[in-house]
Amino acid sequence: MLIRAFTQQDLVRLTELTIDTFRPFYEDSFRPLMGEAVFAVQHGNWRDDYRKQVAELHAPERHAYVAVAEADGTIAGYVAWSVATVHKKGEITILAVSARHRRHHVGRALCEYAFEEMRALGAGVVEIDTGGDQFHAPARALYEALGCTPLPLTVYFRHL
C-alpha cells in the first residue's frame, strides 16, 4: 500500500468513494430511523453535500489536507484532516475506505499517516467524530484501537 498526497486528478474518485462509503448510513440507517421529514431537512441532499465538501477538503492555505491510499492499482481509501495551529489541535474530517479494502488496515494506516502530519504541524491533540449507530461501529473500534478516548454524546431529532 502506498499513501500519498492528494492530487486534483483524485477528486472524482474520492467523491465517488465517499458517496459509496456513506450511502448505507444515510439510506439504510438514518432515513429509516428518523423518517422522511427529518431526513429531508437534515440529509436530504447528502450526495450533493459530499460533492461540495470533498471538493473543498484539500486546502493547504487553510491547513486542511488529504492523503490517498493506493493498493492493487486503485484508490483504497483516503483521509482528510485539518490543523488549528493556534490551538495545536488536529481533526480528522473524513476517513473513507473502499468496501474491497476494509479489514486490511487501510484506515489505520491512513489515520497514523494523518496523525504524523498533524504532529509535524504542531498539533498535540486530535479530534475524530463518528456516529454511535451500528453503521459506525467499525470506525469506533478503529479509533479506540488507535488510542482515542470516546466522549459520549447524544443528538436528538424531532419532527415538528
Percent of the chain with pLDDT over 70: 100
What b/e string do you get for 111-122 counting C-beta neighbours within 10 Å, with b at 16 or more? bebbbebbeeee
> What value does the mean pLDDT take over residues 80-98?
96
Instruction: Give the C-alpha separation, 44 to 40, whole Å.
Output: 4
Note the CATH number of domain 2-145. 3.40.630.30
Residue 121: which pLDDT band, with cuts at 50, 70 and 90? Answer: very high
pTM of the model: 0.93
Domain ranges of the chain: 2-145
Assess whether pLDDT exceeds 90 at residue 100.
yes
Give tens-digit pLDDT for 31-57. 999 999 999 999 999 999 999 999 999
pLDDT of residue 153: 85
